[in-house]
Structure 1
Amino acid sequence: MTTFKDARSGAAITVKVTPKAKATKVQGVMEDGTIKIQVTAPPEEGKANAALTDFLAEKLGLKANQIEIVAGLSSERKLISLIGITPDEVDARLKSAPEKKPAKKKLPGKPKKKSKK
């Protein structure tokens, strides 16, 4: 009898994505363990999926090729495979990584005066 073993360790997470949000961030965890994440990208032409995988890569310290949406490409609920990270590491990194705040927009106004020396 042949035994198959997974050559790469990793984790699988379920995510509920909210597109077209004001900021990209983790909103929390639902009762069933699903991670709620909002992204600023619209749900068209894979933009929200790309924003989600980019966000997860940054938050979790992974490369893009270590993250794959394995189910739910056109759904708000997605099953995501994460290679090279344990479930405990996912939990710790999502809790410890600071949220990105959107850059402040500079409002048009008077230029600052140069000080005379």
Structure 2
Amino acid sequence: MAKRRVSPPGPASLSGAEQTGGATVAVRVRPGAGRTQVGGRYEGPHGPALIVAVGAPAVDGKATEAVRRALAEALGVRPRAVELKLGATSRDKVFVVAGDVGERVAALRDGT
């Protein structure tokens, strides 16, 4: 029996799209930065992504955890409200964020 490939959701659904009870946020990670910073736009494989720079190295999930916490702080939610959906070992990640954060994501990503 042949394996069936399942494609991830398209770009329109991963760039801060509102979902029931939250939003899906595409993120481009810049590990090893001098300081933590959330803001800016990157055209990534999951659509327009929010850039998150963190000081943590890209080793053993340290950068991913730092991004999760930085994203939570920037969006005004608790860290446990931010869950990694795709990209555990990639610089291009997708997070699901609980709460009404779609407009805040767009403002951070697009500078509005």
Give the whole-Å Cα distance in 2 for the aligned partners of 1:44 and 1:76: 12
Identical-pair percentage:
34
Please list the CA deviations of residues 37-83 of structure 1 after superposition, one character each: whole Å capped at 9, or x if unmatched.
11100011111011101111111111122100100011000011011
Greater mean alpha carbon deviation, residues 80-89 or residues 60-69: 80-89
2:40 pairs with one of 2, 13, 28:
28
Give CA-to-partner distance per residue, 1:2-39, whole Å, 9 cap, x none.
xxxxx951101111101011111125112442111111
Q: Which runs of 5+ in 2 are unaligned?
A: 1-18
Aligned residue in 1 for 2:93: 78
Rounded to whole Å, the distance in 2 between the matches of 1:33 and 1:61 is 21
Q: Give the AA of the match of 1:69.
A: L
Mapping 1:1-117, distance limit 5 Å? 8-31=20-43, 32-92=47-107, 94=108
User: How many residues in Structure 1 have an aligned counterpart in Structure 2?
Assistant: 88
How far has the Cα of 1:89 moved from its partner?
Answer: 3.4
5+ long unaligned stretches in structure 1: 1-6, 96-117
TM-score, length of structure 2 as denominator length: 0.69
Structure 1's 86 and 26: CA in aligned 2 closer, same or farther, altered over 3 A? Answer: closer
Q: Following superposition, which runs of at least 4 residues in structure 1 exceed 6 angstroms of deviation?
A: none
Q: Cα RMSD between the aligned structures?
A: 2.0
Structure having the higher Rg = 1
The answer (yes or no) to whether the contact 1:18–1:37 under 8 Å persists in 2 is: yes
